[in-house]
């Protein structure tokens, strides 16, 4: 594997340092991208330590001025030139094998660290660099599909960002009508579950006394929420989203509330993909609310079921599904026509769909053996339990096209959360309420209906 | 190497999670320390993810309740049980050797990471944990002398802390009379160069218009400065510390100043030993000052020479020093008696000592081939140059007993800082002013003086 | 004049203080309004000093629960019962006349203070009271038209509010995209010159680098701007509003700007009517901008001419105007049809209207001898000078219906502001640019145009 | 009364405005003080409105540069030239007498306002002026003794400052170890009851968990507390000051406290003399503490008795006191020798002194018919009650020389505070505990003791 031609850069560098700061910068900005490599080398070589911050800043600016194609090339350059140092590894392996001890193992660890990691640490010297690195990774992620080899580079980003965005560094802040607009507009932009249509819609979710919104922030990303959750304080577990988002409703007193309903959780930063904040957020918000409002008894979500429709449609296309009969399938064909929305919620169709949905959660598994639904995996993995499944609970376009309008409540019972978590993790056990278990066992089928009619 | 007996803990754990949160905690606090191991295992096992924060908090509290002996045992426990996983390494080495590629190298890297690093990351989940981990390392450092094997554990602390305390996360704040007392008392406590004797002394250093003090802070250590620097804004390069610290002096206008004299830099956190902030601090403060006060032309230090007396005394004890003659040595014996302090500063003794001092910086090296003086290594390594050496510049007890009262100015000339840094780093070249170079060449010896008189 | 029946209240009061805090409050809240009088009396009597704050709070809450009619009655109650104390005045007058000295004059001053003023001071004991008193006065102002006698009450409010909202207590704050939404929505709501149509419109005015917005705040009214000004930083004096408000324009660099154009100033608080903040605001913002952006040379307004159309229409209805001929009037009839908007801006009509407009500013006066235009009175009174008059500069509905689309620039030249102010105040002199003076002297009439063509 | 010679100033002014800002200022600063009068006149005349802020700033700077003598002359100048306008009053009186109505009364009020009040309002236009005006009044107060006529000027200052420093504008802030040093040093400086000897002493009062300190601030005096109170959270009502101020004591848990003891209240601003904040402060702090620490049951003071020794010494000098017999007086002569401090606290002397002290509070009155003790007047006037009198409770030099070491507790029982206040204010009734009432009735005298023994 050909390494970087240092003598060429050495020459260049002496010229550059003669001409000083401006020229390097200008060439990078000119978009040729050719000088980025030297910047990388100088930053890593440590020769430039005295001006490490300035070098890091230049390189970040240089990167920002690249077009999409050049950015991809930049990551490929990192992939090809700043991965593990195989000479160093070979020598460390040899040493380890002759003396397999902790000391030599640690040397092996240090020798095998891809050089990119040190590069990222040094880039982070510049003030504001953390935000730039998060943005850089969000670019990188878009290239992974076409060039899976770049995953090695992504792993280095992930390694450092997950250390830097450790829970211990996050700050929980309430989002309300007193929050600066620059943050609020990002809440509007990042809401991923129930789109916020306008500033009035936003206000309706954060200003009334019976609404809350909290976000995690990182000190190095001042105006950027990392993840946020929207909460409705209610008198009972909500069974649909429409009433919660209703712009005309009359707010009630927060002190009357018995239930905190987490109805939307959105990750904000693509560049932090894979670093999980949601579990911490829900638990800390629950504690915060509990302290403020001792009247709160239940902490539940009102969650979408984003994988249900796709899964059901697939099952229906199979010759034979293990979750329903052909007669059922015929009944399900009503779902192909929107008129089913006007039908009785207590009818055959609803009974059937709820029965299938309960089995979707309790029995269906994807090829990797996991629960099909990603939202279910998240909450059950957090130790929540599946409490209710609601029929026609989100009849928006998104709700219908993801889950035929179903929504569910996951219950966060702090007393049993850890036990649930452990049995889910170790044995894959889904803890569900008696109600959901019952749904699994009953369905009004045509037959039964007929026989009822016959009687 | 025997690994942790998991089945034993498994049993314990099931009991513990039955009995819940309180019991575990109480046992740890009771100081027996016996349960700390399970906490470590549970935290690392990830079984306890749902309550990761609570586990981390418990373990940190548990640690804090240990006595010195138990703490040492705790680190030894980490040393013996949570180092590299040799089985995993062996298998990764094998894989790498059969396919020496980036992918297998990265797997080798991941396999050889000591498990302690993941433990530290998970401990940091708890809010306030970063401060606890810094404190933990400052304990650890005290054990290194008696048990050097613990350096392996220390390397893991260092690895993570240096990533978390990356320059990009630090915040520069001015310290003045408007700063909360809780921080000011730490400035008093941490000042390591010229001790602050009282709140009045502190005030004299931070309130007058011609004084500045800046510190780096980390968002996770709110009330703890990491490092701070004290600056005097003056009309010329200061040649002694007494006038700067004088409580009776009349402050001058900051806008009249031409020189910023950095007369004290103190690291504050033992637990961050080896993570260097000083170079960044000096440069950022210089930029900040330059922006605020465009009249500033020179950025110099007024620095102690902490290694000089010890070195000189050693040289004097040698049969023959390469830095002075036996006649010189006789003259130097005046230093053994305090009366030399009353002598003429332009006399033979001063001339001789300054000559030797210049060679102390320019020629003397320690057994590892480095400059003898640690402060000189720091500033010259930052790219500063040695500008002046001052006779009887710090006649305090500390000044006399470290350096026979010498102090020096290092000049930070931003235009050449990087060039200086590079020639110092690559070739060990000490950049010194013409004045210092001249000192090296001249000394008034008795002989020469006589012969001059004879002429 | 019948005074308050104290014995009746005395009885009531003893009962009330027996029954304690709640009852009084409940009755007031019940909306009967009957108990407000005793609260007033108790608060003023000072008997209740120990609980002055609670009393004031109760009375303010009691007031807030009144309906419109009751509020009017409340002010009439203050008018009739808490005005000047005529017995006390009579006795102070007698004393003054027998000894007309400073001391007796001061006693006369104190005796003749309406008791309402002390009442307002005591109401202000409660936290949050200042905002309530401002709101109270804004109610009061709506009653003045039907009951002019209430002006005496209003004078007491004005007296105290103008002292409390003294310039020395105001705080200037920049409004930008980092400002909390709770304040931004008030900017939208209070903008009185060029309505803000949406949050996007707002953002367009405060976020770009070449836009500024500043407001005065009072510490006792935390989230309420008192007055604000919107500024465009431009390369030349703007001659129309459309480009400034254009949502599609490309912002320019603030450092390139030579001109700060104040294009909108809005008072926010009806309850502070008559207390003038605008002059201070403009001058302080001008100083602030000058300090930040030394490249700024000109400080001008782009102002509406809200009185022009009404005045011109009146003049046109007169048998004979002193500002134009009958032939002119015929030409002006084009203004009755919107098609004039399509005509050449350099034509006869524009020439005529600009000529008349210059005389509207320089010569026309209202029956009280003042300049007709209120905006002109404001800026010229501040010491600005009339710089330009722009044809078709605001073709919005509001612009056309107030001023036939005219706008003007007033120039704030800090060097001559005071001289201008003084000559305007003492001699009514309007300082205008040569350009405006020239407009006054020239108009292209049909005749002249013809003769020009004839030549 | 000759008025200001305007034509003379007119001339001067035209020259000045020609020469601009600097000259006026320089002359004032030169300390001649001669030009201050014109500044006053210009500021009041309103001619200078356009530059009102600059004028006000100049005048305040001019004042600050005066020496003591010139300052006195300045106030005399205000006294003689800017008092009530007698011509205007005469005409307003005439009008009122012919039409004695509200409207003419209000005109009389406005005509009789001393012109100084408007001057003060206009001075307050300048930013920072409020602090300057408070400082100005503190100068003025020092001149009142020698020139009582200046009280008329002081009344104007008082009138405006008491309106501006209305309770509604004050902000309560906790003072603790997180407070900026610039404020803490003022706490040290202003403590008027139990002097704070060092920063360590201060820390001992504000940092421990069972200590609190609160102050009122005004937004226009950012770093200046107006009044502050120090509180000890204890398990019982304290009977002496030594334990509270003990530097060696072990702090207890705040949540264990049942009693909040207000052991020191200090006014900070001489210039706000006569404007009472203490009552509001105690009540608001009591409410704040009650909310934070629901376990608190009693709110008491531990107060000095500053008038006792002086009063007792006077009584002892009388031929015959109504508060003790000649035999008692003989016993009291023990107080003249410090050895009484070693005597039994349950002896005759203590019994006698406590008996007399109870009558000092309950019966003794000053020539104006008031309670002799100013601290007692303050707390009883607030509605507190006299709970305990403690023997040898403050044996510091100050304690002995003011009160022969006595201290007392006043109890703030929020439920009866207003009733107490009213009966004290209207009927002069001192509400005291049964214990204090009993002290009044009993004393162990030698005689009685003997006769008791005889029996």
Q: What is the pLDDT of residue C425?
A: 85
Q: State the average pLDDT over residues A209-226.
A: 96
Candidates A303, A321, A351, A358; catalytic one: A303
Nearest Cα neighbor of B194 from B257, B260, B254, B247 is: B247
Collapse the DSSP code of A179 into the 3-class scheme (helix H, G, I; strand E, B; otherwise coil) and give the result: coil
User: Is residue B222 less than 8 Å (CB to CB) from chain D?
Assistant: no
* Among candidates B47, B97, B417 on the partner chain, residue whose Cβ is nearest the Cβ of A425: B47
Does the pLDDT at position C292 exceed 70? yes
Apex B169 CA angle, B167 and B172, nearest 5: 75
Q: Which long-range contacts (CB under 8 A, 24 or more apart) does C334-339 make?
A: C335/C404
Is the Cα dihedral C202, C207, C211, C214 positive or negative?
A: positive
Asked if C touches A (at least 3 Cβ pairs < 8 angstroms), the answer reads yes
Residue identified by tokens 């707010």 is: A251
Distance from CA of A389 to the nearest CA of B (A): 24
Asked if C touches B (at least 3 Cβ pairs < 8 angstroms), the answer reads no
A159 tagged catalytic:
no
Q: State the average pLDDT over residues C64-70.
A: 88
**Could you read off the pLDDT of C153-188 as tens digits, one per residue?**
999 999 999 999 999 999 999 999 999 999 999 999
Give the CB-side neighbour count of residue C25, counting CA atoms within 13 A.
10
Confidence of residue A341 (pLDDT cuts 50, 70, 90): confident
Percent of chain C with pLDDT over 90: 71
Percent of chain D with pLDDT over 90: 71
Q: Are strands D385-390 and D171-174 parallel, antiparallel or unpaired?
A: unpaired
Q: Which long-range contacts (CB under 8 A, 24 or more apart) does D421-429 make?
A: D421/C49, D421/C50, D421/D381, D421/D382, D421/D383, D422/C17, D422/C47, D422/C48, D422/C50, D424/D380, D424/D381, D424/D383, D425/C46, D425/C47, D425/C49, D425/D381, D426/C47, D428/D369
Q: Do C177 and A180 touch (CB under 8 A)?
A: yes
User: Is residue A135 less than 8 Å (CB to CB) from chain B?
Assistant: no
In the structure encoding, which two tokens stand for residue D250, read together? 């072990």
Distance of CA D440 to the CA centre of its chain: 30
According to the 3-state scheme, what is the secondary structure of D277-293? CHHHHHHHHHHHHHHHC
Chain D residues inside the 8 Å CB shell of B180? 177-181
Q: What CATH topology corresponds to C167-301?
A: Aminopeptidase (3.40.630)
Burial of B330 (0-12, 13-18, 19+ CB in 10 A): exposed
Q: What is the pLDDT of residue C444?
A: 63
Q: What is the pLDDT of residue A23?
A: 33
Q: What is the pLDDT of residue D34?
A: 44
**Could you read off the pLDDT of D164-215 as tens digits, one per residue?**
999 999 999 999 999 999 999 999 999 999 999 999 999 999 999 999 999 9
What span, in angstroms and rounded, lies between the C-alpha atoms of D54 and C398?
A: 38
Superfamily covering domain D6-164 = Malonyl-CoA decarboxylase, oligemerization domain (1.20.140.90)
Q: What is the pLDDT of residue C48?
A: 54
Does the pLDDT at position B180 exceed 90? yes
Instruction: Name the residue ranges covered by the structural domains of chain A.
Output: 6-164, 168-301, 304-454
Nearest Cα neighbor of C360 from C343, C345, C377 is: C377
In this predicted model, which residue has the larger pLDDT, D383 or B446?
A: D383
CA-CA distances (angstroms) from residue B145 to B125, B141, B154, B267?
30, 8, 12, 21
In this predicted model, which residue has the larger pLDDT, A69 or C214?
A: C214
Q: Do D199 and B203 touch (CB under 8 A)?
A: no
Does the pLDDT at position B383 exceed 60? yes
Q: Please tell me the total number of residues recorded for chain B in this structure.
A: 455
Q: State the average pLDDT over residues C197-214.
A: 96
- DSSP character at residue A341: G
Q: What is the pLDDT of residue D38?
A: 80
Q: For helices C36-45 and C21-29, what crossing angle results, to 10°?
A: 130
Q: What is the pLDDT of residue A41?
A: 85
Give the CB-side neighbour count of residue D66, counting CA atoms within 13 A.
21
B379 tagged catalytic:
yes
Does the pLDDT at position A47 exceed 90? no
**Could you read off the pLDDT of C247-268 as tens digits, one per residue?**
999 999 999 999 999 999 999 9
Q: What is the pLDDT of residue C49?
A: 60
Percent of chain B with pLDDT over 70: 88
Q: What is the pLDDT of residue D340?
A: 85
User: Is residue A8 less than 8 Å (CB to CB) from chain C?
Assistant: no
Candidates C194, C379, C388, C390; catalytic one: C379
Q: State the average pLDDT over residues B278-307.
A: 94
The torsion angle over the Cα atoms of residues A133, A135, A139 and A145, rounded to 10 degrees, is: 80
Burial of D76 (0-12, 13-18, 19+ CB in 10 A): middle
A168-301 against A304-454: fold identical: yes
- φ, ψ at B213 (rounded to 5°): -145, 135
What span, in angstroms and rounded, lies between the C-alpha atoms of C369 and A295?
A: 68
Mean predicted lDDT score pLDDT of chain A? 87
Q: Which residues pair with A232 in a beta bridge?
A: A211, A261
Collect all residues with Cβ–Cβ distance below 8 Å to D374 and sequence separation of at least 6.
D306, D307
User: Is residue B197 less than 8 Å (CB to CB) from chain D?
Assistant: no
The alpha-carbon radius of gyration of chain D (Å, integer) is 27
What span, in angstroms and rounded, lies between the C-alpha atoms of A203 and D280?
A: 37
Counting one residue from chain A and one from chain B, the pairs whose CB atoms sit within 8 A come to 174
Q: What is the pLDDT of residue D418?
A: 83
Q: Which long-range contacts (CB under 8 A, 24 or more apart) does C391-397 make?
A: C391/C345, C391/C350, C391/C353, C391/C354, C392/C240, C392/C341, C392/C345, C392/C350, C393/C239, C393/C240, C393/C241, C393/C302, C394/C240, C394/C241, C394/C242, C394/C304, C395/C242, C395/C341, C396/C194, C396/C241
Does the pLDDT at position B23 exceed 60? no
Q: For helices D348-362 and D308-317, what crossing angle results, to 10°?
A: 100
Chain A residues inside the 8 Å CB shell of C223? 178
Q: Please tell me the total number of residues recorded for chain A in this structure.
A: 455
- CB of B231 within 8 A of CB of B214? yes
pTM here is 0.87
In the structure encoding, which two tokens stand for residue C261, read together? 């154009």
- CB of B228 within 8 A of CB of B235? no
What span, in angstroms and rounded, lies between the C-alpha atoms of C242 and C398?
A: 13
Q: What is the pLDDT of residue B35?
A: 66
Does the pLDDT at position C31 exceed 60? no
Helix, strand and coil in chain C, % to nearest 5: 55, 10, 30
**Could you read off the pLDDT of D99-120 as tens digits, one per residue?**
999 999 999 999 999 999 999 9
Question: How many other C-beta atoms are found inside a 10 Å radius of the C-beta of residue B415?
Answer: 7
Does the pLDDT at position B5 exceed 70? no
Segment among A171-175, D26-30, D242-246 with least mean pLDDT: D26-30
Q: State the average pLDDT over residues D354-379.
A: 94
- CB of D296 within 8 A of CB of D392? no
User: Is residue A157 less than 8 Å (CB to CB) from chain B?
Assistant: no
What span, in angstroms and rounded, lies between the C-alpha atoms of A178 and A211?
A: 14
Does the pLDDT at position B22 exceed 50? no
User: Is residue C377 less than 8 Å (CB to CB) from chain A?
Assistant: no
Concatenating the DSSP letter of every residue in C325-382 gives -HHHHHHHGGGGSGGGGGS-TTSHHHHHHHHHHHHHHHT-B-TTSSBS-HHHHHHHHT
Segment among B382-386, C153-157, D338-342, D402-406 with least mean pLDDT: D338-342
Q: Do C180 and A182 touch (CB under 8 A)?
A: no
Q: State the average pLDDT over residues C279-300.
A: 93
User: Is residue C196 less than 8 Å (CB to CB) from chain A?
Assistant: no
Q: Do A179 and C177 touch (CB under 8 A)?
A: no
Candidates D132, D264, D303, D358; catalytic one: D303
- DSSP character at residue A309: H
Collect all residues with Cβ–Cβ distance below 8 Å to C448 and sequence separation of at least 6.
none
Q: Are strands C259-267 and C298-301 parallel, antiparallel or unpaired?
A: parallel
* Among candidates A84, A126, A166 on the partner chain, residue whose Cβ is nearest the Cβ of B106: A84
Candidates D194, D218, D358, D379; catalytic one: D379
What span, in angstroms and rounded, lies between the C-alpha atoms of D282 and D230?
A: 10
Q: State the average pLDDT over residues B60-79.
A: 90
Asked if D touches C (at least 3 Cβ pairs < 8 angstroms), the answer reads yes
- D424's enclosing H/E stretch is helix D417-427
In the structure encoding, which two tokens stand for residue D239, read together? 């009977």
In the structure encoding, which two tokens stand for residue D206, read together? 């504000």
Confidence of residue B27 (pLDDT cuts 50, 70, 90): very low
Percent of chain A with pLDDT over 70: 88
Does the pLDDT at position A437 exceed 70? yes
Residue identified by tokens 């984003």 is: A306
Chain A residues inside the 8 Å CB shell of B127? 168
Q: Which residues pair with C389 in a beta bridge?
A: C408
Q: What is the pLDDT of residue D20?
A: 37
Distance from CA of C168 to the nearest CA of D (A): 4
- DSSP character at residue B369: S
> Distance between terminal CA atoms of chain D?
81
Residues 280-309 of A with CB under 8 A from B: 280, 283
The answer regarding whether domain C304-454 maps to CATH 3.40.630.150 reads yes
**Could you read off the pLDDT of D135-157 as tens digits, one per residue?**
999 999 999 999 999 999 999 99
Q: Do A121 and B163 touch (CB under 8 A)?
A: yes
What span, in angstroms and rounded, lies between the C-alpha atoms of D74 and D414?
A: 47
Mean predicted lDDT score pLDDT of chain C? 87
Q: Which residues pair with D408 in a beta bridge?
A: D303, D389
Q: State the average pLDDT over residues D394-418.
A: 93
Collapse the DSSP code of C180 into the 3-class scheme (helix H, G, I; strand E, B; otherwise coil) and give the result: strand
Q: What CATH topology corresponds to A168-301?
A: Aminopeptidase (3.40.630)
Collapse the DSSP code of D194 into the 3-class scheme (helix H, G, I; strand E, B; otherwise coil) and give the result: coil
What span, in angstroms and rounded, lies between the C-alpha atoms of A38 and A47?
A: 12
User: Is residue A339 less than 8 Å (CB to CB) from chain C?
Assistant: no
User: Is residue B8 less than 8 Å (CB to CB) from chain D?
Assistant: no
Segment among B322-336, C49-63, D7-21, D228-242 with least mean pLDDT: D7-21
Candidates C264, C303, C351, C403; catalytic one: C303
What span, in angstroms and rounded, lies between the C-alpha atoms of A79 and A148?
A: 11
What span, in angstroms and rounded, lies between the C-alpha atoms of C116 and C163?
A: 15
- CB of B87 within 8 A of CB of B115? no
Chain B residues inside the 8 Å CB shell of A163? 121, 160, 163-164
Distance from CA of A324 to the nearest CA of B (A): 35
Q: Do D93 and C89 touch (CB under 8 A)?
A: no
């Amino acid at each position: 594997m050909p390494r970087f031609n240092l003598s060429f850069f050495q020459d260049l560098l002496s010229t550059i340092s003669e001409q000083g700061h401006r020229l390097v910068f200008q060439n990078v900005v000119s978009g040729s991208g050719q000088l980025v490599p030297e910047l990388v080398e100088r930053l890593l070589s440590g020769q430039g330590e005295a001006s490490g911050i300035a070098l890091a800043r230049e390189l970040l600016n240089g990167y920002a001025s690249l077009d999409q194609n050049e950015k991809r090339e930049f990551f490929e350059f990192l992939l090809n030139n700043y991965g593990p140092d195989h000479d160093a590894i070979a020598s460390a392996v040899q040493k380890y094998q002759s003396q397999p001890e902790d000391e030599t193992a640690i040397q092996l660890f240090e020798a095998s660290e891809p050089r990119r990691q040190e590069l990222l640490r040094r880039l982070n010297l510049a003030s504001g660099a953390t935000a730039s690195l998060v943005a850089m990774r969000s670019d990188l992620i878009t290239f992974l599909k076409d060039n899976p080899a770049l995953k090695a580079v992504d792993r280095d980003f992930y390694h450092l960002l997950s250390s830097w965005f450790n829970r211990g560094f996050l700050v929980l802040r309430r989002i309300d009508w007193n929050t600066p607009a620059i943050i609020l507009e990002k809440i509007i932009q990042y809401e991923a579950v129930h789109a916020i249509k306008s500033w009035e819609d936003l206000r309706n979710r954060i200003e009334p006394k019976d609404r809350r919104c909290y976000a995690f922030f990182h000190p190095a990303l001042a105006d950027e929420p990392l993840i946020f959750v929207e909460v409705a304080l209610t008198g009972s577990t909500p069974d649909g989203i429409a009433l919660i988002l209703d712009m005309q409703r009359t707010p009630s007193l927060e002190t009357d509330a018995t239930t905190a309903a987490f109805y939307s959780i959105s990750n904000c930063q693509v560049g932090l993909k894979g670093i999980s904040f949601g579990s911490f957020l829900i638990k800390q918000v629950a504690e915060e609310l509990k302290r403020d409002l001792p009247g709160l008894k239940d902490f539940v979500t009102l969650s979408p079921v984003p994988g249900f429709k796709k899964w059901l449609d697939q099952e229906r296309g199979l010759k034979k599904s293990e979750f329903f009969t052909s007669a059922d399938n015929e009944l399900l064909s009503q779902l192909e026509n929107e008129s089913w929305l006007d039908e009785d919620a207590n009818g055959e169709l609803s009974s059937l769909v709820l029965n299938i949905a309960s089995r979707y959660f309790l029995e269906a598994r994807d090829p990797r053996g996991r629960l099909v639904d990603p939202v279910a995996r998240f909450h059950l993995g957090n130790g929540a339990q599946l409490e209710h499944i609601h029929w026609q609970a989100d009849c928006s376009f998104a709700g219908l096209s993801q889950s035929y309008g179903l929504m569910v409540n996951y219950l966060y019972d702090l007393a049993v959360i850890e036990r649930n978590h452990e049995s889910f993790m170790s044995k894959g056990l889904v803890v569900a309420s008696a109600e959901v278990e019952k749904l699994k066992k009953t369905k009004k089928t045509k037959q039964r209906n007929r026989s009822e009619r016959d009687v």
